[in-house]
């Protein structure tokens, strides 16, 4: 099994899903957020660039307002407006405990496909790196409509990773990797290493949605395809154990690791 050297990971994108951030009752999982922030802060202090792509705005807003069940787009956008502020308040407080400054960036699909907006997003992210800031990215759910929405932050994280020419994308999930069957079923086995995303791998990932999140394993494999084709390594690990990111940086495989294609075979991501 191939192991990559940690020193190649200079720029890292970490995506965390709603199920890691929010309890089933809609309240923030503060202990989970603290573990994640501690790990990211330590990685940042080691001299690496880190972007955090976070979900959870709608779920947090629903928890604060006591709204349960499925909602229409109008209500979801209002919940996102409430929840995003709460999320950022907690993130800023937690990161400042470790001396790390953060910045909020809200994006839509249109922002990352439009030439001028895409360039501006790239400029902002890279300038924040110069200021030693951790950008916290989320989809702009308050204004997004079907035509300009990604719909899941796994894809958004992969697109952001390609935009800034990242070296590693880590998806924190309620499932600690890709399994041959849904993990709760008898005979399910974790797939620790994916050399190539084949139709068989894509088929395995279908139909694994959570109650709180908007994606599932299917969206994570889609993100892996975007990232690895751009020469970016990707890993899926359990959100309860963000310290597993250290193992990946040290060259130890955990969760499910997706091997990237050679950077030499891909186009330059930061040429927009």
Q: What is the pLDDT of residues 66-90, one digit of tens each?
A: 998 777 888 888 999 999 999 999 9
Considering the domain boundaries, does residue 45 fall inside one? yes
Would you say 268 is a known binding-site residue?
no
Considering the domain boundaries, does residue 271 fall inside one? no
Residue 272 predicted with pLDDT over 50: no
Considering the domain boundaries, does residue 66 fall inside one? yes
Would you say 101 is a known binding-site residue?
no
Would you say 267 is a known binding-site residue?
no
Q: What is the pLDDT of residues 219-265, one digit of tens each?
A: 999 999 999 999 999 999 999 999 999 999 998 888 999 999 986 55
Counted domains in the chain: 1
CA angle 115/156/173 to nearest 5° reads 170
Residue 150, Cβ density class (10 Å: 0-12 exposed, 13-18 middle, ≥19 buried):
buried
Would you say 214 is a known binding-site residue?
yes
Q: What is the pLDDT of residues 26-38, one digit of tens each?
A: 889 999 999 999 9
Domain limits at 132?
A: 6-265
Would you say 207 is a known binding-site residue?
no
Considering the domain boundaries, does residue 270 fall inside one? no
The CA–CA distances, whole Å, from 242 to 41, 110, 138, 237 equal 12, 31, 19, 8
The share of the chain scoring above pLDDT 90, in percent, equals 64
Would you say 174 is a known binding-site residue?
yes
Residue 29: CATH number of its domain = 3.40.1160.10
Spatial separation of the C-alpha atoms in residues 58 and 78, rounded to whole Å = 8
Is the CB of residue 38 less than 8 Å from the CB of residue 98? yes
Would you say 46 is a known binding-site residue?
no
Residue whose C-alpha is closest to residue 257's, from 174, 170, 175: 170
Would you say 262 is a known binding-site residue?
no
Considering the domain boundaries, does residue 255 fall inside one? yes
Would you say 253 is a known binding-site residue?
no
Would you say 110 is a known binding-site residue?
no
The residues, ordered by sequence, that sit 6+ positions from 63 with a Cβ below 8 Å of its Cβ are: 22, 23, 25, 26, 27, 28, 83
Residue 160, Cβ density class (10 Å: 0-12 exposed, 13-18 middle, ≥19 buried):
buried
pLDDT at 193: 95
Considering the domain boundaries, does residue 148 fall inside one? yes
Residue 214 predicted with pLDDT over 60: no
Predicted model pTM: 0.90
DSSP state of 112: H
Q: What is the mean pLDDT of the chain?
A: 87
Would you say 261 is a known binding-site residue?
no
């Amino acid at each position: 099994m191939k192991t990559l050297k940690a020193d190649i990971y200079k720029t890292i994108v970490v995506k965390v899903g709603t199920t890691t951030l929010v309890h089933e009752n809609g309240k923030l999982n503060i202990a989970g957020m603290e573990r994640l922030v501690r790990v990211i802060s330590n990685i940042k202090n080691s001299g690496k660039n880190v972007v955090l792509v976070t979900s959870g705005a709608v779920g947090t807003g629903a928890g604060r307002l006591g709204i349960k069940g499925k909602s229409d787009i109008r209500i979801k956008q209002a919940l996102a407006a409430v929840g995003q502020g709460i999320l950022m308040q907690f993130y800023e407080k937690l990161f400042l405990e470790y001396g790390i400054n953060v910045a909020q960036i809200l994006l839509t699909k249109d922002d990352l496909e439009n030439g001028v907006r895409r360039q501006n997003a790239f400029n902002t992210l890279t300038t924040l790196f110069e200021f030693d800031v951790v950008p916290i990215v989320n989809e702009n759910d308050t204004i997004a409509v079907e035509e300009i929405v990604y719909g899941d932050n796994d894809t958004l994280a992969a697109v952001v990773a390609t935009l800034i020419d990242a070296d590693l994308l880590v998806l924190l999930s309620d499932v600690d990797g890709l399994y041959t069957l849904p993990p709760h079923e008898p005979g399910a086995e974790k797939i620790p290493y994916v050399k190539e995303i084949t139709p068989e791998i894509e088929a395995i990932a279908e139909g694994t949605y959570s109650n709180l999140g908007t994606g599932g394993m299917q969206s994570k494999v889609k993100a892996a395809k975007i990232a690895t084709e751009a020469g970016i390594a990707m890993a899926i690990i359990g959100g309860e154990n963000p310290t597993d990111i250290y193992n990946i940086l040290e060259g130890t495989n955990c969760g499910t690791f997706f091997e990237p294609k050679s950077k030499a075979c891909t186009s330059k991501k930061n040429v927009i």
